[in-house]
Structure 1
């Protein structure tokens, strides 16, 4: 059976806004409609609108100017789109993100995570699991794993949303420095609990983006396993050929 993969809502909205910039509807130097206006115009939730605007700012189409709002910059000299789901997971503020924290606790390290963290198979790690939702629909399941020794003296083990990203929390509390991320993308069938949380029909696969965050020496500090329903998400990268 073939599954038609459709971009998430915030990507579709970003693509629509980008098209309006390119066709001159939103001219360079002008303000884009406010968040409230975009919510009403497109019938999407505020988190979806905010995420679309942040994507366009990241890629250089828009910029925020204090006292003026969000301004159109126009088409960037080099257009490069990267869906860096791992980075989003590592830098997510759980108290501000669209979704909910559903589980915190020590668990046996999954095999795919053990090798990434350089831990023996029977080791225990701290897991924080966050369900990302858009307009009441589950779109991502993010399970973040931390070495047990690294989380001592932090609030990562507390069953409450962090008011900053796990990266910021660790860099502040443990004086570590995140340097780079390695992402590995694979497809698999979800476990029963994962399928239930993502409301997937039987037999529906998921894309797994395993993001391994390391310090400058290559030591793994955090692993985020981002699960994307294959029928609702896609990964896209646009780059210029030299």
Structure 2
């Protein structure tokens, strides 16, 4: 997606479990704009997570996380890399730790496991120069900038449940909601 496209993102659909037969949030968001949103699962691995993920999950030095790495496509063109991390003790033995599409997405599966996402996760946005491997996968020229959006999500009971690190090639515009006081 080029930076001149008007696209106001909303995290809520990505935090809402899907109903039976309902499309995933990305496909629905793209379709609402007359586009085709798909994703390709690149890997599912048990890893030593990055420090920010380890800290959020309050993990000890030996604990692992499961990461699901995906390539996000818009009309068949790569627009984002998305890595979603889950504590290994939560993900092991579930579809989160298996290669393959999760019907309804991870947030729907987590909800069936008792992890209902909070309404307002913490999101951190940074800009950096794409690495050579990011340039290759996202079809970017060397030295191209990317946005890194990291979403830290807790369950409604306060338990850390997911960290998603999204490397984006597109313009990002947010709409903030004022909550009643």
* Alignment counterpart, residue 176 of structure 1, candidates 115, 130, 151: 115
Q: TM-score, normalised by structure 2?
A: 0.75
Cα distance in 2, alignment partners of residues 204 and 122 from structure 1: 35
* Alignment counterpart, residue 132 of structure 2, candidates 182, 189, 192: 192
Cα distance in 2, alignment partners of residues 104 and 240 from structure 1: 34
Partner secondary structure for residue 98 of structure 1? strand
Cα distance in 1, alignment partners of residues 107 and 123 from structure 2: 16
Cα distance in 2, alignment partners of residues 194 and 107 from structure 1: 19
Residues 6, 178 of structure 1: alpha-carbon distance in 2 compared, 3 angstrom cutoff: same
Gapped regions of structure 1 (runs ≥ 5): 12-81
* Alignment counterpart, residue 204 of structure 1, candidates 144, 153, 174: 144
Matched with 1:93 is 24
Task: Note the C-alpha offset of 1:215.
Answer: 1.5
Partner secondary structure for residue 156 of structure 1? helix
Cα distance in 1, alignment partners of residues 50 and 72 from structure 2: 21
Cα distance in 2, alignment partners of residues 89 and 131 from structure 1: 19
Per-residue CA distance 1:111-144 (angstroms, 9 max, x = gap): 2322222224554210101111122210111110
Partner secondary structure for residue 110 of structure 2? helix
Cα distance in 1, alignment partners of residues 110 and 177 from structure 2: 36
Cα RMSD after superposing both structures: 3.0
Task: Note the C-alpha offset of 1:201.
Answer: 1.3
Higher relative strand content: 2
Comparing 182-191 with 204-213, greater Cα deviation is found at 182-191
Larger radius of gyration: 1
Count of residue pairs the alignment pairs up: 162
Q: TM-score, normalised by structure 1?
A: 0.58
Matched with 1:102 is 42
Matched with 1:236 is 173
Is 2:132–2:142's contact at 8 Å kept on the other side of the alignment? Answer: no
Cα distance in 2, alignment partners of residues 112 and 104 from structure 1: 19
Matched with 1:70 is none
Matched with 2:105 is 165
Matched with 1:226 is 166
Q: Which has the higher contact order (CA 8 A, sep 6+)?
A: 2
